[in-house]
Amino acid sequence: KKGTRVAPYAGMPTLLDVPHRAVDWAALDLSGLDIALVGVPMDLGVTNRNGSRFGPRALRSIERVGPYNHVLKTMPTHELNVADIGDIPFRSRFDIALSHADIEEAARKIVTAGAMPLFVGGDHSVSLPILKAIGAERPVGMIHIDAHCDTSGPYEGCKFHHGGPFRQAVLDGVLDPERTIQIGIRGSSEYLWEFSYESGMTVIHSEEVTGLGVPAIVETARAVVGDGPVYVSFDIDSLDPAFAPGTGTPEIGGLTTREAQGILRGLSGLDIVGGDVVEVAPQYDTTTNTAHAGAQMLFEILSLARLSRRFENSGRS
Amino acid sequence: KKGTRVAPYAGMPTLLDVPHRAVDWAALDLSGLDIALVGVPMDLGVTNRNGSRFGPRALRSIERVGPYNHVLKTMPTHELNVADIGDIPFRSRFDIALSHADIEEAARKIVTAGAMPLFVGGDHSVSLPILKAIGAERPVGMIHIDAHCDTSGPYEGCKFHHGGPFRQAVLDGVLDPERTIQIGIRGSSEYLWEFSYESGMTVIHSEEVTGLGVPAIVETARAVVGDGPVYVSFDIDSLDPAFAPGTGTPEIGGLTTREAQGILRGLSGLDIVGGDVVEVAPQYDTTTNTAHAGAQMLFEILSLARLSRRFENSGRS
Amino acid sequence: KKGTRVAPYAGMPTLLDVPHRAVDWAALDLSGLDIALVGVPMDLGVTNRNGSRFGPRALRSIERVGPYNHVLKTMPTHELNVADIGDIPFRSRFDIALSHADIEEAARKIVTAGAMPLFVGGDHSVSLPILKAIGAERPVGMIHIDAHCDTSGPYEGCKFHHGGPFRQAVLDGVLDPERTIQIGIRGSSEYLWEFSYESGMTVIHSEEVTGLGVPAIVETARAVVGDGPVYVSFDIDSLDPAFAPGTGTPEIGGLTTREAQGILRGLSGLDIVGGDVVEVAPQYDTTTNTAHAGAQMLFEILSLARLSRRFENSGRS
Amino acid sequence: KKGTRVAPYAGMPTLLDVPHRAVDWAALDLSGLDIALVGVPMDLGVTNRNGSRFGPRALRSIERVGPYNHVLKTMPTHELNVADIGDIPFRSRFDIALSHADIEEAARKIVTAGAMPLFVGGDHSVSLPILKAIGAERPVGMIHIDAHCDTSGPYEGCKFHHGGPFRQAVLDGVLDPERTIQIGIRGSSEYLWEFSYESGMTVIHSEEVTGLGVPAIVETARAVVGDGPVYVSFDIDSLDPAFAPGTGTPEIGGLTTREAQGILRGLSGLDIVGGDVVEVAPQYDTTTNTAHAGAQMLFEILSLARLSRRFENSGRS
Amino acid sequence: KKGTRVAPYAGMPTLLDVPHRAVDWAALDLSGLDIALVGVPMDLGVTNRNGSRFGPRALRSIERVGPYNHVLKTMPTHELNVADIGDIPFRSRFDIALSHADIEEAARKIVTAGAMPLFVGGDHSVSLPILKAIGAERPVGMIHIDAHCDTSGPYEGCKFHHGGPFRQAVLDGVLDPERTIQIGIRGSSEYLWEFSYESGMTVIHSEEVTGLGVPAIVETARAVVGDGPVYVSFDIDSLDPAFAPGTGTPEIGGLTTREAQGILRGLSGLDIVGGDVVEVAPQYDTTTNTAHAGAQMLFEILSLARLSRRFENSGRS
Amino acid sequence: KKGTRVAPYAGMPTLLDVPHRAVDWAALDLSGLDIALVGVPMDLGVTNRNGSRFGPRALRSIERVGPYNHVLKTMPTHELNVADIGDIPFRSRFDIALSHADIEEAARKIVTAGAMPLFVGGDHSVSLPILKAIGAERPVGMIHIDAHCDTSGPYEGCKFHHGGPFRQAVLDGVLDPERTIQIGIRGSSEYLWEFSYESGMTVIHSEEVTGLGVPAIVETARAVVGDGPVYVSFDIDSLDPAFAPGTGTPEIGGLTTREAQGILRGLSGLDIVGGDVVEVAPQYDTTTNTAHAGAQMLFEILSLARLSRRFENSGRS
């Protein structure tokens, strides 16, 4: 049985090596699918180094992530029906507002079709239209792992840039700030993120992580998000650039991959409703380490999804 | 219409961005398909720097090659049914003889299924089992563009290494040496290739190319292969390492991409029966230039295939 | 005297190591300046790999280009007053239409202020607003060295993308197609460039260059542009990716730097009115070769500017 | 005296800059030698990214590792006779079984010749034939630092691949599982390593390291291996890819170099009988950090060897 | 207001994006300036991998460091007048003794002109002439973060190499060893640094950092330097090569950026009299991580300078 | 016989894979040796990007250059006794004048010991002390392939920098300018090289090469150097940076490797008395192409040496 697995470098590249499922976005049918992995190759919201439009391709090229999560003791791709349904279609690669509309529409379709979506960006601005789809009926809580709060206001006449999706999501009523925790925050832009504090988000800075320890952070995170629906947003720049150089707005002094995995693995049993991994820019990723970390974090979130309340009675075993 | 094309960086990566067609190798059905693009991720025949097992993945990741060949005035993927049918399945990634048997069997199945196959290696040893399938009924001629003649004998007890496929193909009766031309030859191993001369192959060294000029080389090549069936084998190390650093046995003083394209584009109207692009090792390809050149050469060979006798009356237009 | 020159790696980085002149764009005063070098860090018009927003920074970091052009026998930065006036100011990094308006306004100000401008992109879409400023009073001719004609129509609802500036410039009446020559053209998109032929541009493909030879191309170019005002637009992707990997839409089979320099150096004595070097994307430039080539081409164009009719009686010597 | 040391970048490259000693493998004479450093450039057992055949060359190129270990207070290359005896000779670069036989024979010769051997791979499969030589007379214990347990069974018809050497070594009676500790384990393949647990090996996962702390891990390791003979096997992929990107099966969430050094330096005074550093694949090592870490770990193991029981009364001082 | 900030990738590159102030070194006038950032592109003191002559250029190219330090709650470039005054002028790029004289003279001029200088190297030998200028009137204390003590004696006839500046500075009476702490020390050269211990410096090795913890190290550092004048010297090789590969004498097992920032941020309120960031060699910095870390450490030191006694009553708020 | 050759990636790295011969420089004995390959790891004469001190190591790491030169029909390492005798010893890595004295002394010893020396730099300044040794008894002629004439005068108080060795060699009476040809010249420093013209050297610029053609250049070169003793100096920056990015003062528009090999291969039968390959700086050589080209050019010069008058009656066959 083991002997028949295809070599990691062979076959068509897909996210986490799950099967590709070709879909018709005009009439999206996801019947039988539990979880949809989907690419969002859009980076028009970037304020500095661009390139994360190649993020989905980069993650698809990574070998050997999954199938087994030995800490969470799950093999999600074997226990649920998971597929890579390709990338969200865009009407224009030149217009950020139009792109956000396209993302929102596609996300709504996936939700309506009944699969839990996990997205791969693209820049972090994509989380706004995604949340508008996922939180349309009630605001959701969020585990947000990132170097930046991403709660600044409109900038240069644009409210869709990657520095502000979560302020806008709160204003749009799709994100519950009091059930939101932001972990790994650092850098020189703290003065732009007053909204996080004013709206009631919990912020854990990167420089606090050693002192607090991962178990305490997990405990805080679980307390913040509680029993309600939770979205998990993982910005790869939460990791220190030593671990993830391939991103557009790196900040030194960040999380290690071990810390980030430790935090994610502590979140088993929540009511996960979706998630994303964003800001992988492979042009700056000379070793593929960043895409590799992104793929593994996607696998951790997928494991959380499999262990979430929605699927607690599921399983193909 | 143009406005609806997907962005080059979006979507599932396939060879030349043609549609992927999932196949069952146990009962290969290629009905309706004119040309099958197929990966051969095997590099156990390498004598020096390995890594071309990642060659098919590397070519699938390249954007923006095709659809139109303005010199040959063809849009092959629109005029014929072309698909990427994935990679040949291997029973073992540790055994070269078994791998060659797997390649030969898969190649036979494609030929039997009625599609013309174009392969992406993998190391150059893969051309031997391919030729054994394609030339099974009668020996074929060959346009062979390479830095090395690849006609040396068994080595360290192995007759399947990447330095000798074409000697073995002649001995196996599947390659006609008198209808074979080798172009771009150079390096320090000439003393290993007596078989090329003894068997009657035509050899054009790289250092002769400027003096001869591309038109004269084209004329010679057409004269050598004549009207019979022809296989086109393109080793990426035929190109100078400035153009294609990502390969295992580079040799300076090689062809430019313009020269190589000029030669290939001169071969319109031959009786093409198959072809390959081999030896792309992306670990050594810091700029993606090598994979890019490999994809473009695959497109040139695809254009020749479309314009070959077999399809001269075809076309979906 | 020579002994007091600063080391190439020392000092503030500027384009071609000319002095930086800080300017107030709200009231642009370029008095005393003959030629203004100016950066245009905008890449929202890119259709594939982005990143040329870092192009001006990349060229400023290059050492040892200039001061002497031994073929044209000029030392332009010593014979004229040349300064790097920094980058064009943008109101938004998220909006291509607004950015084009900003570029056009800035270019008009430079022209009005009396200096000849040479621009460093940014993507090739920037040439459109520049031409609208430079050709405002009468259409200009153009020496256009590029892999692509860049004369396709609106795409995905946008007429400002980097694939179409020169079609739009003709439609806007600022570019004279019959006095335009496009050199180095290749790739798989020829079917998008009918406008070049229909409007009367002269197109020389890359695959013709060896056969024609550089002197004949120079002769043709001079005949096409004649005595009227001429803009020189150099897209770095005209060069083969072996010479210039750091660009967003590379095409193999391109020009060598020696050929490109040969063409440019043949254009001495024309009525140059401005120029640009565009599409350097340093993220893909693992060796700095691309930025280096870009800086040298800028120096060649600067040499042509110094030897153009406008300055034929100038010189500080 | 210090002033006469050769510059680190000068001279013939050898492992840890020790003298090269040319040997005749047909009649191996190591008289006078205490410790032999030896390369094993073989990577046919790799399941994913290959290239560690270049590992010995990569480590030889590293400058400035040693001579003094200030934590262990030893200068091993000055206190003992240590030489780089070159690489093990192979009959074939195409046959893994034959290669394993060659390694075993060479390792036996070194042991017979009376020097303690420290090996540089090559992939981790090489540890199997080495252990068969070193443990021929009695099973040895092992300190095994790695991301993977490497105790899976035969795969694709091969029992010599790099995922299973230590299962096979136990089955062959040369490794004592109850005196074996595996540190740094992680990744998605835990389900393949039941043998570790069933046979009685002690496994410390990477995610446990922060919580346990290095001193406790050292204590456990010393308790596990006890007073008997111990082999030290260091797989470079035990380190996080941020510290060691150049390897074939990277796993995020790994050890830091400081942790790995802390563990090794805690093992002074054991009965070391040999060791290895494996899986350095320089093609993926864009900064030389991986080879550098490999060389330093080799130096740490060499320091342990010098301080082991065998040499406790030795020293040239 | 925020909306008018220039994009990080635009504009002339300067250290920390502060304004460039062109100066006449023959008659240095720094009136109105509080802090001068200055480059020292000299690497003739390097013992191994050279290239840090490009260090100042590398730091100038980094985007997005500053303006706000949220831990120290200061925005130094807004609260004080800070400028990049360019690079120290050198009479020769071939003579280390002459270069040291040039550095000392330039440093004296800056001190005399009344600005606090922060330097960017260049190799670490530059700290000797800087200290000779800054400590001319009385010896200063030092926070020295480095992998190496840099207190070895003359070597190959040269006392100005980068392995010995602080021994020489003590001997020259400009550095007080008892008020000097060296943090992050490691590697294989401990036997060269007896002077550190003999002269009374406090040395904290890298392997002690986890056990001690950053708060205790901060406490020790503050106790060592006390109330007197303090120089801060940050050698980028103090960081582990995973975090800072771009340097000439890397040593594994080093500090994380988070630890280094934690230490620096603990030093608020000291009597800072100057500082430097040295040994960034961008040739080895494939990701720009090293230059990025260097720029951030410069910003941390700038924050300390702003919060030092000298400026405690300053501020432009 | 062939089957027993060691794999290219195995064994101790030496120049061209010839045997290493350990020598005692204090009493140099080269008895039995025909040709000595020797490294000169010194780059203190560099004016811009340094790093060529690692040049000899870089060339030793290259695989698969030689043994057969099929154009010149010689296998020099089999027909003569050739060894890599390691690197010239230096008293100081900080002093260029002392280093030049060391090189001159070592070169004299090799000449006196009776072997023909071929050197690997190091920067081009090393050719001056080498020529002082080789031309001590009578001035020699020179085939000089380079982007720069290297005939400028003292600079910043130093006459030993890498921009002037051949002016100084003429002034020192060891180089005959009228028997010197410089090929590949280009760049922006022509105004520094008046001495080439004034002294009677023949200069062929890079931009002339296409027009002249390689055969005519060969003819001119042979006419210039005539029957007398000839030194061959190959600066890797003669090659275009596309072919050789790893060098300190690159100039675009350079030679292809095919042109350079064509020129060298045309020089069979001259009275070669020594040669060098210089300026390979591997820090800038992301693909190893530069070191590879350097090794091949060394092999071409070695082939010329074997076919020179001195050895015309030699041969071990």
Q: From chain D, pick out residues whose CB is under 8 angstroms from the CB of A258.
A: 206-207, 209-210, 240, 252-254
pLDDT band of residue B312 (cuts 50, 70, 90) is confident
Alpha-carbon Rg for chain A, nearest whole angstrom, is 18
Q: Once rounded to an integer, what is the mean pLDDT over residues D243-266?
A: 98
**What distance in Å separates residue D119's CA from the closest CA in chain B?**
21
Q: Once rounded to an integer, what is the mean pLDDT over residues A94-106?
A: 98
Main-chain phi, psi angles of A268, to 5 degrees: -60, 140
The Cα–Cα gap between B252 and C292 comes to 23
Cβ-contact E65, E181 below 8 angstroms: no
pLDDT tops 70 at residue A253: yes
pLDDT band of residue A316 (cuts 50, 70, 90) is low
Percent of the residues in chain B that have a pLDDT greater than 90, as a whole number? 96
pLDDT score, position E135 = 98
Q: From chain B, pick out residues whose CB is under 8 angstroms from the CB of F68.
A: 188-191
Q: From chain A, pick out residues whose CB is under 8 angstroms from the CB of C96.
A: 94
pLDDT score, position A39 = 98
The closest alpha carbon to C301, from C138, C76, C39, belongs to C76
Q: From chain C, pick out residues whose CB is under 8 angstroms from the CB of F249.
A: 64
Write the DSSP string, chain C.
-GGGSPPTTSS---GGGPPB----GGG---TT-SEEEEEE---TT-SSS--GGGHHHHHHT-----S-BTTTTB-HHHHS-EEEEEE---S-SS-HHHHHHHHHHHHHHHHHHTPEEEEEESSGGGHHHHHHHHTSSS-EEEEEE-SS------BTTBS-STT-HHHHHHHTTSEEEEEEEEEEE-SS-GGG-HHHHHHT-EEEEGGGHHHH-HHHHHHHHHHHHTTSEEEEEEEGGGB-TTT---SSS--SS-B-HHHHHHHHHTTTTSEEEEEEEE---GGG-TTSHHHHHHHHHHHHHHHHHHTSGGGTT----
The Cα–Cα gap between D52 and A196 comes to 48
Contact C299 F245 (CB under 8 A): no
pLDDT band of residue C2 (cuts 50, 70, 90) is very low
Measured between its terminal Cα atoms, the distance across chain F in Å is 16
**What distance in Å separates residue E67's CA from the closest CA in chain A?**
6
User: Touching check for D9 and chain E: CB below 8 Å?
Assistant: yes
Length of chain C as a residue count: 317
pLDDT tops 90 at residue B1: no
The closest alpha carbon to E164, from E136, E200, E189, belongs to E189
pLDDT band of residue E313 (cuts 50, 70, 90) is confident
pLDDT band of residue E2 (cuts 50, 70, 90) is very low
Residue of chain E with shortest Cα separation from D65: E188
Q: What is the pLDDT of residues C271-312, one digit of tens each?
A: 999 999 999 999 999 999 999 999 999 999 999 999 999 998
How far from C58 is each of B146, E10, E216, CA to CA, in Å? 36, 11, 43
pLDDT score, position F316 = 58
Contact B68 C155 (CB under 8 A): no
Instruction: Look up residue D301 and give its amino acid.
Output: I
Would you tell me how many other CB atoms lie within 10 Å of the CB of residue B187? 25
pLDDT tops 90 at residue D229: yes
Q: From chain F, pick out residues whose CB is under 8 angstroms from the CB of C240.
A: 242
pLDDT band of residue A6 (cuts 50, 70, 90) is confident
Contact C157 B3 (CB under 8 A): yes
pLDDT score, position E86 = 98
Main-chain phi, psi angles of F195, to 5 degrees: -60, -35
pLDDT score, position D226 = 98
pLDDT band of residue F44 (cuts 50, 70, 90) is very high
Nearest-CB residue to F68 (from B152, B189, B253): B189
Residue of chain D with shortest Cα separation from A241: D242
Residue of chain E with shortest Cα separation from D259: E253
pLDDT tops 60 at residue D309: yes
The Cα–Cα gap between E217 and E226 comes to 14
Q: Once rounded to an integer, what is the mean pLDDT over residues B303-311?
A: 97
Contact A258 D240 (CB under 8 A): yes
pLDDT band of residue E316 (cuts 50, 70, 90) is low
DSSP state of E154: -
Q: From chain C, pick out residues whose CB is under 8 angstroms from the CB of A92.
A: 156-158
**Percent helix, strand and coil across chain E, each to the nearest 5:** 40, 20, 40
C80: Cα within 13 Å, side-chain hemisphere: 26
Contact B7 A53 (CB under 8 A): yes
Residue of chain D with shortest Cα separation from E189: D68
| Cβ burial C221-239 (10 Å sphere, 16+ → b, else e) | bbebbeeebbbbbbbbbbb
Contact D86 F39 (CB under 8 A): no
pLDDT tops 50 at residue E162: yes
Nearest-CB residue to A292 (from D153, D192, D252): D252
pLDDT score, position E6 = 85
The Cα–Cα gap between F128 and F122 comes to 12
Contact B12 A12 (CB under 8 A): yes
How far from C32 is each of C29, C114, C302, CA to CA, in Å? 9, 9, 17
If contacts are CB pairs under 8 Å, which of residues 66-125 in chain C contact chain A? 91-96, 98
Contact D12 F14 (CB under 8 A): yes
Nearest-CB residue to C94 (from A49, A93, A156): A156
pLDDT score, position E217 = 98
What's the maximum distance between 2 C-alpha atoms anywhere in chain E?
Answer: 57
Look-up of token digits 């068509």: A12
Q: From chain E, pick out residues whose CB is under 8 angstroms from the CB of D2.
A: 152, 155, 192
pLDDT tops 50 at residue B286: yes
Q: What is the pLDDT of residues B2-40, one digit of tens each?
A: 444 789 999 999 999 999 999 999 999 999 999 999 999
Contact C12 E86 (CB under 8 A): yes
Residue of chain C with shortest Cα separation from E286: C286
pLDDT tops 90 at residue F314: no
Q: Once rounded to an integer, what is the mean pLDDT over residues E236-263?
A: 98
pLDDT tops 50 at residue C1: no
Two tokens at B26?
Answer: 């146990």
Q: Once rounded to an integer, what is the mean pLDDT over residues C200-227?
A: 98
The Cα–Cα gap between B222 and B229 comes to 12
What average pLDDT does the structure give for chain E? 96
Q: From chain D, pick out residues whose CB is under 8 angstroms from the CB of B47.
A: 93
pLDDT score, position B316 = 58
Percent of the residues in chain A that have a pLDDT greater than 70, as a whole number? 97
Residue of chain B with shortest Cα separation from F295: B252
**What distance in Å separates residue C63's CA from the closest CA in chain B?**
22
Partner chains of D (3+ C-beta pairs under 8 Å): A, B, E, F
pLDDT score, position A2 = 42
Burial of A213 (0-12, 13-18, 19+ CB in 10 A): middle
What average pLDDT does the structure give for chain C? 96
Of A270-279, D172-181, D306-315, F107-116, which gets the smallest average pLDDT?
D306-315
Q: From chain F, pick out residues whose CB is under 8 angstroms from the CB of B253.
A: 256-258, 261, 296
pLDDT tops 50 at residue A155: yes
pLDDT band of residue F6 (cuts 50, 70, 90) is confident
Q: At what angle do helices A289-306 and A257-265 cross, to 10 degrees?
A: 10
Q: Once rounded to an integer, what is the mean pLDDT over residues B229-258?
A: 98
Q: From chain B, pick out residues whose CB is under 8 angstroms from the CB of D93.
A: 47, 156
Order of strands across the sheet with D175-185? D82-87, D35-40, D116-121, D271-278, D229-235, D140-145, D175-185, D202-205
The closest alpha carbon to D74, from D269, D276, D225, D289, belongs to D269
pLDDT tops 70 at residue D316: no
Contact E10 C61 (CB under 8 A): no
The Cα–Cα gap between F287 and B286 comes to 7
How far from E178 is each of B144, E69, E200, F83, CA to CA, in Å? 74, 31, 5, 54
pLDDT score, position C208 = 98
pLDDT band of residue C152 (cuts 50, 70, 90) is very high
Partner chains of F (3+ C-beta pairs under 8 Å): B, C, D, E
The Cα–Cα gap between F59 and F294 comes to 7
pLDDT score, position E314 = 82
**What distance in Å separates residue A238's CA from the closest CA in chain C?**
21
Main-chain phi, psi angles of D127, to 5 degrees: -65, -25
Nearest-CB residue to F61 (from D39, D57, D86): D57
Measured between its terminal Cα atoms, the distance across chain B in Å is 16
Q: Once rounded to an integer, what is the mean pLDDT over residues B275-290?
A: 98
User: Touching check for D127 and chain E: CB below 8 Å?
Assistant: no
User: Touching check for E39 and chain C: CB below 8 Å?
Assistant: yes
pLDDT band of residue C6 (cuts 50, 70, 90) is confident
pLDDT tops 50 at residue D1: no
Three-state SS letters, E171-219: HCCCEEEEEEEEEEECCCCHHHCHHHHHHCCEEEEHHHHHHHCHHHHHH
The closest alpha carbon to D63, from D291, D252, D286, D278, belongs to D291
The neighbouring-strand residues paired with D205 are D185
Chain E interface, best mutation among C12, C18, C283, by max E CB count within 10 A: C12
Two tokens at D176?
Answer: 């004592």
The Cα–Cα gap between D199 and F284 comes to 50
Q: From chain B, pick out residues whose CB is under 8 angstroms from the CB of C249.
A: 64
pLDDT tops 80 at residue C161: yes
Domains of chain B (ranges, CATH numbers): 2-308 (3.40.800.10)
Instruction: Look up residue C104 and give its amino acid.
Output: E
The closest alpha carbon to A58, from A211, A300, A266, A247, belongs to A247
Q: Once rounded to an integer, what is the mean pLDDT over residues D254-269?
A: 98
Three-state SS letters, D194-214: HHHHHHCCEEEEHHHHHHHCH
Measured between its terminal Cα atoms, the distance across chain A in Å is 16
The Cα–Cα gap between D300 and A47 comes to 45
Q: What is the pLDDT of residues E169-219, one digit of tens each?
A: 999 999 999 999 999 999 999 999 999 999 999 999 999 999 999 999 999
The closest alpha carbon to C126, from C282, C308, C277, C302, belongs to C277
pLDDT tops 60 at residue F136: yes
Q: From chain E, pick out residues whose CB is under 8 angstroms from the CB of A210.
A: 214, 258, 262
pLDDT tops 60 at residue A246: yes
What average pLDDT does the structure give for chain D? 96
Q: From chain A, pick out residues whose CB is under 8 angstroms from the CB of D189.
A: 68
DSSP state of B43: -
Q: Once rounded to an integer, what is the mean pLDDT over residues A272-279?
A: 98
DSSP state of A34: S
- Give yes or no for a cis peptide into D122 (omega within 30° of 0): yes
Q: Once rounded to an integer, what is the mean pLDDT over residues B137-151?
A: 98
Chain F interface, best mutation among B47, B162, B188, by max F CB count within 10 A: B188
Alpha helices in chain B (DSSP H): 55-60, 76-79, 96-113, 127-134, 165-171, 194-199, 209-212, 214-225, 257-265, 289-306
